[in-house]
Amino acid sequence: MARLSPFKIALIFMVVFANLVCCNNGRRVGDPLETELSGFSVPLEHSFELDDVAKFESRGSLLLKTGREPSVSLTQNQLSEEDRAKLKEVAAVDGLYRIRVPRVFLQADRQTEWQMEGHLTAFVRACAMVESHLSDVITLHSDVSGYLIGVSIVTLPGACRGTEVEDEVDLEVFNTTLSIIAPVNAPGPETALFLERMEQESEKKGKNTQEQKSFFAKYVRACGL
C-alpha cells in the first residue's frame, strides 16, 4: 500500500476540518442540539358568544422560541360551518370576538418547564373580524425579564361597514400576522464622565475665584487702601 506524503496528509486534514466547521452551524463542540431548537407550544384560544359570556375554545397554538431574542410562530384551525354561522350572528348584534393566551415565561427551555400564571385577553368587534375576512394582527408583549404581560389584536381593515361576506369563501381560514415585542433597554447615564465634568467645572470656578481675590488685593495695595 502506497504511503501518503506529509503534504497530502495535511491537505486531507484541512479539508475534513473545513467541512466540520462549515457544518457546525454555530454550535460549540459539546453543545446539545436541543439548545438551538428549544421552544415550547402554548394554546391560542378564542370566544364569540351571543350572550357575551366568554367560552374559550382552541383556535390554534403558538410555538414560542426562547433565547435572547424570542420569536413566535402560529398554527391555526379552520372555522367550522357552525362557527362561521355563529360568528356572523354575533357580528349582527355587535358582539365581541375574544382571544386569550397563557401568561408564561419566555425563557423556559423546555415545554415541561413553563408554568401558566393566568391568561392574557384581548378583543375586537366581531363584525370587524367578519368584514376583514378573518385577517388580524396579534401582538404579544413581554417585560424585560421575559414574561408575557400583554396581548393585542386588531383587524385589517378595522372598521365595521356592514359589508356582506360569504361564509364559504371568506370565513374559513385565518390570515394572521403575529409578532412579539420586548422592551429595549435605554442607554444608562455616563456617570463617570458626568462626575469628571463636574469636577472640572468646580476646579475652574475655584481658580477664577482665586484670580479675582488676587486682583482685588493688588488693587487695594496700589491705591494705598
- Give pLDDT, residue 11: 37
> Which residues does the chain have with pLDDT short of 70?
1-38, 66-69, 107-116, 167-169, 185-190, 206-225
- Give pLDDT, residue 9: 39
- Give pLDDT, residue 99: 98
Residues 119-130 pLDDT 10s: 999 999 999 999
For the chain, the straight-line distance linking the first and the last C-alpha, in angstroms and rounded, comes to: 114
Residues 190-222 pLDDT 10s: 677 777 777 888 877 766 666 555 655 665 565
